[in-house]
Amino acid sequence: MTASEVKIQVDKVYKIFGPRADGALIALSEGAGKAEVLQKTGCVVGLNNIDFSIRNGETFVIMGLSGSGKSTLIRHFNRLIEPTAGRILVDGRNIMEMDAKALLAFRRNGMSMVFQRFGLLPHQTVLENTICGPILQGVNRREAVERGMEQLELVGLKGFENRFPRQLSGGMQQRVGLARALATQADVLLMDEAFSALDPLIKSDMQEQLKDIQARLKKTIVFITHDLDEALHLGDRIAILKDGELRQVGTGEEILFRPADDYVERFVRKVDLSRALYAHEAVTKVPVLSRAEATPERFAVLLRDHPGVVVVDGEASHVLTRGRGGDAVPAASIDAGSAIGQCFPLLAAHDALIVTQGGAVAGILTREMAFKALARSARAA
Amino acid sequence: MADNFPELVDTRGLRFAIDDGFSWIVANYGDTFERLLMPLLKLLSGMETFLQWLPWYVTIAVIAALTWSAARSVKATAGAVVMLLLIGSLGLWNDAMATVALMLAATVVAVVIGIPLGILMARSDGLRALALPLLDIMQTLPIFVYLIPFVMLFGPGKIPAILATVFFAIPPVIRLTDLGIRQVDGEVVEAIVAFGATPGQKLVKVQIPLALPTIMAGINQTTMMALSMVVIASMIGAGGLGYQVLQGIQRLEVSRGLLSGIAIVFLAVIFDRIAQSYGRRAQKHLATGE
């Protein structure tokens, strides 16, 4: 990765809680474990030599169980918590060297944050909450309201701007949290267990919405979660944190299929593969014909070598699979980026689905292909 | 007496030193203090004169309006009006207004000093550790003990009365301001800091508004304590309803003591309702609803 691609660089960061941090740092450098440091110095090791980079425009998930230090770590990025040792560079600038004024400007313009329990001001309306970032930036009120309304519309809360947070459901409140974070127009979005407090259904709605927004806005998102399914679903790359130590950083596939150690392996064992595996990993390429080319003779020849044939007729697509006589039948299509699990309902109703990528036909997906891909992954994991 | 506690230390020297030291302060700085506190006296006298000058029906209308705007209840408003009419018909109107003036002046001073002190306490654990025992002492020390130095400094009159009242009444507003700010949801404070609020903006935009119900409860308690202090303060020349009670004691006139006592209770009920209702309204607005 080149220097220009790196958005946030975390450089050997330590965080020690307790009065004798220096002693604890020395003990750590001499190879003492977390428990030993606590016993010797009375200090709790929050983060131990954390070192990684986050790329521009990626969704980077930091995942770990409670007490792993993930919430501590994310608060280092905007210096809500100061590290005991180490540097954090954002766009090449060491944020540890910022004075109070520079830090305020950085928090106002450089990063915004979404909180687990929303952190909305209960005495202000949804709109007031949404524009609190721009107002702190010094944007004039008219423009701030304009920006706020735009973001509220984006998250689907138009018409709710004069309500108070308590009048909204949890999911809606977190949408306000998201709109508030987006309204600052900062490049980096920090999300601290942003969806963990929500009901499962609302949670997956919010995940989809975040993906939509990310596809449009291309922010750098740092997402904290304790839910591996969520991590795999959202993250371009995932970092696994345990006891303040980084165990593995990699793509979802790497984490799933090449876990770095026992801990990560135990972690991924229970993962729902149907959500971690995508249609493009199970798709099979098949010939594509136009309506004019689609003759029974041609079908017979092609089906000898291929599991199916796709016929494109203007807007509509049809598919014919091996072992099924007659003409091609209309078929549903799905995006190559959909998880296999999402395709199950359609697969139940159709023999084969057409997988499209960027509007073009990439191939077909049958029940057999989906199950084979899942079986392959289950063995690998 | 069989066994007296042995006299280990001769306290006479200590007592003389304290008394002499204080007398020296009175002799050398008494005038300065008095001059410094002139604005306070002006505030109190101004309020008293104003309240006694105001036609009684205007006062009743104003208090009724205040009760209505706070409680939105016909019953509470009517109750306040009836109680004020009773005070007037008992012939205690001017005394009651003097008492209200002293109470309001003391409350205003206590709030103006107490809220900033509470804010400072909420910001610093060290200051809090220092202030809490001090506030405990202030609340447990018999009030007569600190009437003495004030009377020595200023002589009997309104200034020592208002100062003693402020001292007596200020602890709740300090305590509850501190408590209210400390109880504000940490994540909300963290959020506003993450979006780049300065410490001042954090205080004004989040901490004070969210602590307001608790602060209002503190102001309410302070008001009630100021009112209860007024009776005692009358012993050093504060006048008002307390003076009537004092005269009742001195002349052994049960009726005089009883009637002015009832008037004090009426005032307490009226102001308690107003302050509490304002507190509750602030609270209603803030309910987060998980």
3-class state of residue B43 by DSSP? helix
Q: What is the 3-state secondary structure (H, E, C) of A184-199?
A: CCCCEEEEECCCCCCC
Pair A11, A86: CB distance under 8 Å: yes
Give the CB-side neighbour count of residue B14, counting CA atoms within 13 A: 3
Place of tokens 């165990």: A247
CA distances from A335 to A315, A355, A356, B4 (A): 16, 6, 5, 97
Selecting from A122, A123, A132 the residue whose C-beta is nearest the C-beta of B195 gives A132
> What is the distance of C-alpha A179 from the center of its chain?
17
Q: Is the pLDDT of residue A4 over 80?
A: no
pLDDT > 90? residue A297: no
Report the pLDDT value the prediction gives residue B221, as an integer from 0 to 100.
Answer: 92
Separation between Cα atoms, residue A123 and residue B118, nearest integer Å: 22
Residue A134 in this model has a pLDDT that exceeds 90:
yes
Write the pLDDT tens digit of every residue in A261-279.
888 888 887 777 777 788 8
Examine the pLDDT at B115 and tell me if it is beyond 90.
yes
Q: To the nearest 10°, the Cα dihedral for A147, A150, A154, A160?
A: 100
The predicted pLDDT at position A150 comes to 92
pLDDT in tens, B221-275: 999 999 888 878 888 888 888 888 888 988 999 999 899 999 999 999 999 988 8
Local confidence band at A3 (pLDDT 50, 70, 90 cut-offs):
low
What single letter denotes the amino acid at residue B147? L
The pLDDT score that the predictor gives to residue B234 is: 81
3-state SS, B215-233, equals HHHHHHHHHHHHHHHHHHH
CB-CB under 8 Å, B206 with A166:
no
- By C-alpha distance, the chain B residue nearest A167 is B289
Residue A274: count other Cβ atoms within 10 Å of its Cβ: 17
Contact A119 B289 (CB under 8 A): no
- Of B230 and B16, the one with more pLDDT: B16
Chain A residues within 8 A (CB-CB) of chain B?
Answer: 78, 80, 104-109, 111-113, 115-123, 132-133, 136-137, 165-167, 180, 184, 190
Angle value at C-alpha A37, between A33 and A42, nearest 5 degrees:
155
pLDDT at A1 over 60: no
B60: closest CA of chain A, how far (Å): 33
> B195–A120: do the CB atoms touch at under 8 Å?
no
What confidence score (pLDDT) does residue B120 get?
Answer: 94
Number of A–B residue contacts, CB under 8 Å: 70
A119 closest CB neighbour out of B191, B205, B285: B191
User: Interface pTM (ipTM) of the complex?
Assistant: 0.75
pLDDT higher than threshold 50 for residue B290: no
The answer to whether A50 and A13 have CB atoms below 8 angstroms apart is yes
- Cβ-based interface (< 8 Å): residues of B facing A: 185, 187-188, 190-198, 201, 205-206, 209-210, 285-289
pLDDT tens for residues A169-192?
Answer: 988 999 999 999 999 999 999 999
3-state secondary structure of A324: coil
